[in-house]
Structure 1
Amino acid sequence: MAIALQPNSYIQAHKHENPDKRELFTIYQGELVIITYKENGDLLSKYHLTPKTLRTIELRPRIYHSLIAIKPDTVVFEMKDGPWESVEKDKTFAPWMPSEDSPEAEEYFNTLKERLGL
């Protein structure tokens, strides 16, 4: 699935565990940071993807992760193990991160970007 993101696109951290699914991200345009988290919400790792440097990354199942576009019109291809499931079944959202439609999301996102130096 191709995903187009803007620098203000907030994606709540989530993981895939029912069933376990790996994810592969390949960037085609722009710049993207993929953040992985420990179960308690502490940062685990940060991957900076660009078409000319690190282009593809595979995340193993059961790892909380989120994406942040650095440049406008960032395009990334996401591929994950099947079978396809609805969002309700496919994702387990991080309980320590505000949902995408919550009033706290914008402030949390800005604080996260600041912590990451973005």
Structure 2
Amino acid sequence: MEISMFIAYAVVGLLLALVLTASATFTLQRNDQIIASMRRVQVPDSWLPRLATLKAAGAIGLVAGLWVTPLGVAAATGVTLYFIGAVIAHLRVKDYELAPAAVLTLVAAAALALRILS
């Protein structure tokens, strides 16, 4: 069972890392949709490079976590907390277009559970 959990983590972790990499890239490129979403939840423009860096670090950690279990657990924990924060930011301003953040929270939590179990 442990090997199947690892394979599941590898799939979920790598897909999540791809999404995080794309999101970090779009944030750094100041993609119109990303900027509009960040403004809706009142994220200052000065935070964008830091948030993109956190997403990129999460992606790197998830991939490195394939070889170093504690790093994968730490990265999945950080990504889960990041997206919990995103959901809270949406709710705080009563912006209910939070499906992407909510889904990514669940995917990150799944990656965390799978890495712990593998």
Give the TM-score of the pair, scaled to structure 1: 0.27
Give the TM-score of the pair, scaled to structure 2: 0.27
Which one has the largest radius of gyration? 2
The structure where strand makes up a greater share of residues is: 1
The structure where helix makes up a greater share of residues is: 2
